[in-house]
Chain A
Amino acid sequence: MGEIIIGLYVFVLATLAGREVIGKVPPTLHTPLMSGANAISGVAIIGAIVVTGASTGGLATILGVIAVAMATVNVVGGFMVTDRMLNMFKKND
């Protein structure tokens, strides 16, 4: 039970921290913020790596490999497109 309580602590505190930090992002950056946060949700890649590594062939492995591929699209594509957008933001001289 100890492990899950620590997990819940992390979850609640991260939610509060997230709300604090993101509440101050100016409207001009809301699209990059959404796509950047979207890239972070690809963190499921960690879970995908763990379950794929732990399984020894069969259905579990196939599901795991698909999970790794999907999460990687989310992570790599998400961070790259956010970078592409933010690179266009220029100040006046």
Chain B
Amino acid sequence: MDVLTLVELAYLASAILFVSGLKRMQSPATARQGNGLAALAMLVAVVATMVHPDYQILSWSGILLGIVIGSLVGAATARTVKMTDMPELVGIFNGFGGGASALVAAAEFVRLQDTGGAVDLQTGVSIGISMLIGAVTFSGSFVAFGKLSGRITGNPVTFPLQKTFNAFLFLTLLILGGVIATGAAFGGLPPLTVFWIFTGLSLLLGILLVIPIGGADMPVVISLLNSYSGLAASAAGFVIGNKVLILSGALVGAAGLFLTMLMCKAMNRSLANVAFGAFGGESGGKKAITGQKPHRSVDADGAATMLAYASSVIVVPGYGLAVAQAQHDLKKVMDLLEERGVDVKYAIHPVAGRMPGHMNVLLAEADVPYDLLFDLDEINDDFARTDVVLVVGANDVVNPEAHNPESVIAGMPILDVDKARNVIVMKRSLSPGFAGIDNPLFYMDHNYMFFGDAKKSMQDLSKAVRDA
């Protein structure tokens, strides 16, 4: 067998490893192994590329330099990042992936210009697509990162005729892309100049597409950009005629799109509404001050008594828990309750935390076993049979108004905690969540508000449960 056949077979093996790695992500028991398989697939693909007889490697020094620097930066970041900062991390890595695809297109175009070789239509189209999607992913991801980390305002940034301008920009990019792909003359400008204008405008489009979207919607944006970075890689695969690149890029494209749709569904919004709705700023609904309606409240001792003498407890952790970093203290309280023989479960809303599945990671970090965590569909019928539900820093996801067809959140999937015998809501105040509407749960007779910072309240609760 010649080297070319071996390399092609290695690519095939890599493709199989990528797909079976992703398949193992279907269960927490095999997911770590699945991630390992995907990493192995990547290694096989990289090594096969390095020995591929069709790709002449003229100089190794640059490649090795890039790999060493990239590995050091990547490893250091992966080891030190806080689990609460996962959305930012995925955003920034994503930007790098998209940027790499854009640079592959740029380097190939520059090389073809240097060597005086004509750009054929197929390569031209692939270079254009790879640059456009890659650059949009790059600049868009960095804006999303800025919004998530508070470096850029989380409020939607809008200006008059924004959509018209974006449409015009996109049209211009299509025309310039056509010029690049066909090698047509464009006002006497050299092809490379046209290409750099194209690059600059692509980057601008990425920024303009993300700035009008509110900070609360950034996880959806990150997920969509993740899909784009896969498509950009796939397009780069067409540029250099590499099937494993096309395949793995397409896998990521599909994954990103699926997760994006899922998030939109969990928030009861359409993708178009997220992209163009200019919704969900940081100060979202905080303006709506609620009246002084009567509500019951409870202190740590009262809450501890209710929990300690219950036979079943379900915890509903929300964004506020993650912000207050109270997951370890929550775990302590639940351990104490379990020691007393209380049946403890956790109900996780699809968008609890800062991205889908984020709460599960935060609880896993606090050593909560994953088989105590239940999804909305699995647990919603259990609330009616539960003595006490403890809601920590969540609001919209437990708002019974979702069942009212007149409400703005009508139809949003929620956890039916109001069905339980007693509810304790641990929260700073009665203020509304992102949806900006009041929560009738707070004023129900069987609901008790436990006001305060989640971490402090949880520590007090832990002491009180020990003494109960």
Contacts and interface: CB of A to CB of B under 8 A. Distances in A.
Contacts, number: 402
A47 B240 contact: yes
Contacts of A72: 66-67, 69-71, 74
Contacts of A19: 254, 257-258
Given A28-B375, A29-B25, A37-B230, A46 B107 contact: no
Interface residues of B, number: 117
Contacts of A73: 70, 73-74, 77, 93, 96
B275 interface: no
Interface stretch (B35-43, B209-217, B388-396): B35-43
B313 interface: no
B23 A21 contact: yes
A56 to B, nearest CB: 6
Interface stretch (B97-105, B287-295, B446-454): B97-105
A11 B60 CA distance: 30
A25 B254 CA distance: 13
Interface string B207-251: 000000000000000110010011011101111111111111111
B58 to A, nearest CB: 6
The number of chain A residues touching the other chain, given as a range, is 35 or more
Given A30-B259, A48-B104, A22 B110 contact: no
B63 A40 contact: no
Given A41-B252, A72-B69, A92 B372 contact: yes
Contacts of A57: 59
Nearest to B358: A31
Contacts of B29: 91
Interface centre among B71, B81, B350, B367 (most CB of A within 10 A): B71
A90 to B, nearest CB: 5
Contact of A33 (B81, B83, B244, B357): B357
Dominant SS at the B interface?
Answer: helix
Contacts of B60: 53
B258 A14 contact: no
Interface string A18-54: 1101111111111111111111111111111111111
A47 to B, nearest CB: 4
Nearest to B40: A79
Contact of B226 (A41, A44, A56): A41
B364 A85 contact: yes
B3 to A, nearest CB: 16
B111 A51 contact: yes
Nearest to B219: A34
Interface of B: 18-19, 21-23, 25-29, 31-32, 34-36, 38-39, 42, 45-46, 49-50, 52, 55-60, 62-63, 65-67, 69-71, 73-75, 77-79, 81, 83, 86, 89-90, 93-94, 96-101, 103-104, 106-108, 110-111, 114, 122, 134, 222-223, 226, 229-230, 232-234, 236-259, 262, 348, 350, 353, 355-358, 360-361, 364-365, 367, 369-373, 375
Given A60-B110, A69-B67, 4 more contacts: A18-B250, A26-B27, A41-B94, A47-B101
Q: Ordered nearest first, which 10 A-B pairs have the shortest CB separation? A: A72-B70, A68-B66, A18-B254, A77-B74, A30-B357, A53-B57, A76-B74, A67-B103, A92-B369, A80-B78
Interface of A: 1, 3-4, 6-7, 10-12, 14-19, 21-61, 63-93
